[in-house]
Amino acid sequence: MAAAKKPASQANPFAFDATKMFGDFDPTKLMGEFDPKKFMGDFQKAFSEYKIPGVDGNVIIESQKKNVEALAQANKVALEGMQAVFKRQAEILGQAMEEMQSTFKDLSSTGEPQDKVAQQTDLVKDAVEKALSNMRELAEMAGKSNTEAFDTIHTRFTESLDEVKDQVLKLKK
């Protein structure tokens, strides 16, 4: 069953729209404009003008192509991770605002002062525990994304060094 949409007069005034977080700047567009194939075509054209005796230029070009592809993949993973963290932050903020409205309603009801103090203490305790849990969740999300991006670059860097070593040893023969 679909939830009924609230009329504008009842809409949450604290609602957060993640699409407006960066204003006119769109990091996904920036990454979308990077074309590894075009970059490698330009690199290959520039590199083809230089000949190094005993070195297969195609091997170097292929190695650089793999480097650019790994960097593009790492950037994609990092960007997707950043988007997921921002989306989750927006969800958390929206939930917090709704809970705050509910809390204000509960606290405005009549009752004994001692009961109100006890209720406020429980609310503060719950809010702090939830905030710490949310912080942990966001940190884990960001950490996972960063680790994936780093692993992509690290793996390619190691492969690239092995390729350089192989080329140098071929020059020795």
- For residue 141, count CB atoms less than 10 angstroms from its CB and return exposed for 0-12, middle for 13-18, buried for 19 or more: middle
Q: How many CB atoms lie within 10 A of CB 51?
A: 8
pLDDT at 77 over 60: yes
pLDDT at 36 over 90: no
Average pLDDT over every residue of 139-159: 93
Q: Which residue has the higher pLDDT, 58 or 36?
A: 58
pLDDT at 45 over 90: no
For residues 132 and 139, give the distance between their C-alpha atoms in angstroms, rounded to a whole number.
Answer: 10
- Label residue 35 left, alpha or beta by phi (over 0 means left) and psi (-120 to 50 means alpha): beta
What letter does residue 109 receive in the DSSP assignment? S
For residues 36 and 43, give the distance between their C-alpha atoms in angstroms, rounded to a whole number.
Answer: 10
For residues 70 and 101, give the distance between their C-alpha atoms in angstroms, rounded to a whole number.
Answer: 47
Q: What is the reported pLDDT for 62?
A: 82
pLDDT at 173 over 70: no
pLDDT at 5 over 90: no
pTM: 0.60
pLDDT at 46 over 80: no
Query: In this predicted model, what pLDDT tens digit does every residue of 106-144 receive, in sequence order?
Result: 777 777 888 888 888 888 899 899 999 999 999 999 999
pLDDT at 102 over 60: yes
Q: Can you read off the two tokens belonging to residue 162?
A: 């092995």
